[in-house]
Amino acid sequence: MSIQDPNCIFCKIVAGQIPSRKVYEDDDLFAFHDIAPWAPVHFLMVPKLHIPSMTQLTPEHERLMGRLMLLAPRLAMEQGCNPYPDGGFRLVCNTGTEGGQEVHHLHVHIMGGPRPWVRG
């Protein structure tokens, strides 16, 4: 897949131009471990498409985002999160500067594993 936004670090990760610890990949979605984990399990899920944030989502993205949400619990368990209800995971999608977003390529954090966590 050709790079979508040459200034975007997550586009570069998706394109393999910046190394990452890959968790999952298909035609539309990519998941990789966060470089600064808050929890024993902490990975990011991104659409390969460069969508800056949730605020740019349109009805065209409904299936893409639905797939991401359905994939999240499966990958969380595969990565070592403990089963619901005693285990589980946290899913975070920071949006905009006041929402704590630092990388402006839509991504969902999946965090889990035994507490205490580093943060969160």
The residue among 96, 113, 107 whose CA lies nearest residue 31 is: 107
Residue 107 catalytic? yes
Told to check if 18 binds ligand AMP by CB under 6 A, we report yes
Nearer to ligand AMP, 64 or 91 (CB): 91
**Which residue is it, tokens 């979508």?**
4
* Closest CB 33 distance from ligand AMP, rounded Å: 7
Told to check if 52 binds ligand AMP by CB under 6 A, we report no
* Closest CB 32 distance from ligand AMP, rounded Å: 6
d(CA 46, CA 31): 6
d(CA 35, CA 21): 9
Told to check if 3 binds ligand AMP by CB under 6 A, we report no
